[in-house]
A and B are shown apart, each in its own frame.
Chain A
Amino acid sequence: MDIYEKVQKLNDKKEKYKQMGSEKYIEKQHNAGKLTVRERISLLLDEGSFMEMGLLAHQQNLHPTMEGKYTPADGVVTGRGTIDGRPVCIAAHDYTVLAGSTGKVAEKKMYRVREWSLKHRVPMIWLIDSAGVRIQESIGSLFADNGRHFFDEVKMSGVVPLVCAMMGPGVAGTAYLPALADFVPMVKGTSFMALGGPHLVRAVVGEDVDDQTLGGSKVHTEESGVADIEVENDEECINVIKQYLSFFPSNCEEKPPVNDLPETRNEISEKLMEIVPSNSKRIYNMYDVIKEIVDDGEYLAIKPKWAQNIITVFARVGGMPVGIVANQPRYMGGALDGDAADKAARFINICDAYSIPLVFLQDIPGFIVGSKVEKKGIIRHGAKMLHAVSEATVPKITVIVRKAYGAGYFVMCGKQYDPDLIVAWPTAEISVMGAEGASSILYHKQIANSENPKEAWNEYAEQFKELIDVDIAASNGLIDDVIDPRDTRRVIYDGLKNSWNKKVERPWKKTSIRPV
């Protein structure tokens, strides 16, 4: 065979491998409402930017169960490309090849691309669509060598952004890939993740359950909180990955990308005078406030349907990316529970890792109290948020919109949590607890002994109410300013601009003991 024939043979093989599994399986993939792995990659990456590594890979197993199994690229497409001109690494399962199962050769490819991502300090993106580890290749005690994925992922965590999109099944060990990643979108209806799939669940615990009920996008975006956002289809999933990464630097040593200053920068918002009800028991939707503050009213909400009492969104203010942590009075009155503290703590950690400034919008009646939440460990979960906000050394801007009670005020970056700017609206109420609660506790004897307990209680409460006045905090120099709500956007922008190059040195330690 001369070189021309050899090259022809090579090109034919490459062309054939790019056709993925058989046409039958490609059709099945499309009929299931899913794109093929190569369609996904071409949507995600800038045109012509994909440098594939390992196209010629194929399973090499000698075990009889693998005999004759055709596995082009060994069922996972890996390589490097760019998104909006910035490099990323990618590993994407090909469900048309043995249901995207990960064989020995695929493992090697995935290891190589992780190594590349870390060595070149660029984000790593996994597109999961896999039946899991290829059992034929892992059955038996050679399994002793498996599982490097997760070790590496932890090593990469906080160095480069990790995105793990669920675009099909991700079962057993594969479910830990998203769990250890920073951002996990899930496609509605076609994706699911579970430590044990329906077959295993039936066999081991006897429960009869379908994949969506077990671990579909609804379960993980509304109940478990493992995933970040539910998307309608593959296209939307690809778009949300791009949107997410647009807020992030390529690695922890860079600053996040800043967009041009929008023309609306100094715009005053009259709407901000109308959203918050004057009766402080009344609820409202904090998203309405956020829309008035961020560039073009646009944001990317993380875990919007889980722990809805706290809002965590990425957005831009004056072109600068920010992570906003805001209480949501619309849900549970904005009081914090364990899940909300978990959600916020994780979000704060992610922003801190990648130099994304934090903006806190406070309207918090406190942490929920009572036997139910204590048994669920609200102290342990609340501590996560205290830990995260204390550890965060990115620029921090705090705006007290209304309530700022108790430890809720602390975890939402109160004065002692090192905000670079802390301001309040004239409607702000800062106190260890509400006037009514304080009067019940401090004067319980006097109230019980009075002729008219209700009236006595009211009287004492009125006295305390006079002490809950933001002017007292400002005149004692405890907060930086009381602002006109209409000006909030400009004040946040000024705070961010002036603290963009913040640098904080903390005492050396090997690791912090996170209250996980």
Chain B
Amino acid sequence: MTVDIKSIMSGSVWKINVSKGDLVTEGTDLVILESMKMEVPIEATEDGIVKEILVSEGEFVSEDDVVVVIDK
């Protein structure tokens, strides 16, 4: 089963902390956005393996856009 990790707000991708295949646990900061002049982490909501990363650094993402897909 896969889980879509969505962006909690609009912003630009500042840093991607994980790679495809990484094992992550709930609460892991997957991607850091820069938004409202703050570094805003997007966390894994479940334990699993990173299946896909759908954004690249510098890219603008909108609220609710899927940024990472996790395989549970």
Contact = CB atoms under 8 A, between A and B. Distances in A.
Interface of A: 281-283, 329, 331-335, 337, 365-366, 368-370, 372-373, 434, 436-437
B52 to A, nearest CB: 23
Contacts, number: 49
A337 B9 contact: yes
Contacts of A434: 37
Contacts of A329: 38
A332 B41 CA distance: 8
B8 A332 contact: yes
A281 B9 contact: no
B41 to A, nearest CB: 7
B39 A368 contact: no
17 contacts: A281-B39, A282-B39, A283-B39, A283-B40, A283-B41, A329-B38, A332-B8, A332-B9, A333-B36, A333-B38, A333-B40, A335-B9, A365-B37, A366-B36, A370-B10, A370-B62, A373-B10
A332 B40 contact: yes
B37 A368 contact: no
Nearest to A281: B39
Contacts of B39: 281-283, 333
B63 interface: yes
Nearest to A279: B39
Interface residues of B, number: 14
B17 interface: no
B63 A437 contact: no
Interface in B27-55: 34-41
Interface in B2-31: 8-10
A366 B35 CA distance: 11
Contacts of A436: 37
Nearest to A408: B36
Contacts of B64: 372
Contacts of A335: 9, 35-36, 38
Contacts of B62: 370, 372
A333 B14 CA distance: 14
A365 B38 contact: yes
Interface of B: 8-10, 34-41, 62-64
The secondary structure that dominates the A interface is loop
B38 A372 contact: no
Contacts of A368: 9-10, 35-36
Contacts of B63: 370, 372-373
B37 A281 contact: yes
B40 to A, nearest CB: 5
Given A372-B62, A372-B63, A437 B8 contact: no
A369 B63 CA distance: 11
B33 to A, nearest CB: 9
B38 A283 contact: yes
Nearest to B41: A283
A171 B10 CA distance: 36
Contacts of A370: 10, 62-63
A437 to B, nearest CB: 7
A283 B34 CA distance: 11
Contact of B38 (A281, A337, A373): A281
Nearest to A277: B39
Contacts of B37: 281, 333, 365, 434, 436-437
Contacts of A337: 9
A329 B35 CA distance: 12
B17 to A, nearest CB: 14
Given A281-B38, A331-B8, A337-B9, 12 more contacts: A281-B34, A282-B39, A283-B40, A332-B9, A332-B40, A333-B37, A333-B39, A335-B38, A365-B37, A369-B36, A373-B63, A436-B37
